[in-house]
Structure 1
């Protein structure tokens, strides 16, 4: 059993086969991504948080490790590395991305694995819901490829970063 099986319970069995493979043991995904950044202030914040630079044609490699208690994804956007560490927190998952901690609830609908933010903290300080980022994130299988989309926006500021693409499970 791995961390996603624990979190999703019986619904884990509804994952498309490619997504199930991409969340089991040690994995390697490779392909292309598009990375977008927001306005000037959003761009400054994305730089502070060490997020990847904007690119219309970015080579992306993802190394993942899935165990019963954790999931680690290391994304290589060309020469920029972004790492997320996931752990179980009761009925939720936490994603640690640098100083940001997201409390997440995942679900499967229409063959998509979607991530929903319940609570956010920065440097361990909880952020009130009204100031928390909005996350749109999902993964799906498309033409035998691992398709993903992540978009993060902040109240008032707007888009912080968005990245999406298609990867092949190697």
Structure 2
């Protein structure tokens, strides 16, 4: 079934792991437990502020997690729900096509432009630009994002880490998920 993801990747879609291909052809729900961490001191304080603005939990530790992934002809939607009740909703819109195109992710007042690197069948986001309430920010001012999804065994593995030079890790959440 054609959708925004399969169209954007074109022939390169086949380079994704078969489980990622299925998820991004049909959509679905993944569940499991994720580890939430915040950096120490000022880094952790900033991480919790970002979490509050984007809907992530401000607590640390292992928590239940569910992500619903939906596709349409012009967008990809991720609705993340943590067992704490916190919710993060992201809408991704494709621009251009792989490998030179990007996805714009909107979460709250933040819009990220993200390229994609396919590594070992996994999908790694490559930040290219950031806008805050429509105003472009230089990337050196914006927390660095390291985010990927891959398949290990029969589980989906993902990780998201936000960091700043000098301060280090602001926050991260990661885990292994199963269809559910």
Residues 62 and 76 of structure 1 are in contact (CA less than 8 Å); yes or no, is this contact kept in structure 2?
yes
Q: Root-mean-square deviation (CA), in Å?
A: 1.6
Q: Does 1:159 align with 2:169?
A: yes
Cα distance in 2 between the residues matched to 1:125 and 1:143: 42
The secondary structure found in structure 2 opposite 1:20 is: helix
Compute the displacement of 1:118 (Å): 0.3
Cα distance in 2 between the residues matched to 1:61 and 1:46: 17
Find 1:57's aligned residue among 55, 62, 73: 62
- Give the aligned length: 170
Cα distance in 2 between the residues matched to 1:129 and 1:89: 19
1:25 maps to what in 2? Answer: 26
Single out whichever of 110-119 and 156-165 deviates more from structure 2: 156-165
Residues 22 and 169 of structure 1 are in contact (CA less than 8 Å); yes or no, is this contact kept in structure 2?
no
Q: Does 1:138 align with 2:148?
A: yes
- Post-superposition Cα deviations, 1:88-112, rounded to whole Å, max 9, x if no partner, equal 1232110001111000111211222
Cα distance in 1 between the residues matched to 2:8 and 2:172: 25
Cα distance in 2 between the residues matched to 1:149 and 1:65: 19
The secondary structure found in structure 2 opposite 1:23 is: helix
If the length of structure 2 is used for normalisation, what is the TM-score?
A: 0.87
Residues 8 and 106 of structure 1 are in contact (CA less than 8 Å); yes or no, is this contact kept in structure 2?
no
1:81 maps to what in 2? Answer: 87
Change (3 A) 1:45 1:66: closer
Residues 105 and 116 of structure 1 are in contact (CA less than 8 Å); yes or no, is this contact kept in structure 2?
yes
Single out whichever of 157-166 and 113-122 deviates more from structure 2: 157-166
The secondary structure found in structure 1 opposite 2:103 is: strand
Which residues of structure 2 form unaligned runs of 5+?
A: none
Which residues of structure 1 form unaligned runs of 5+?
A: none
If the length of structure 1 is used for normalisation, what is the TM-score?
A: 0.91
Compute the displacement of 1:155 (Å): 4.2
Residues 122 and 149 of structure 2 are in contact (CA less than 8 Å); yes or no, is this contact kept in structure 1?
yes
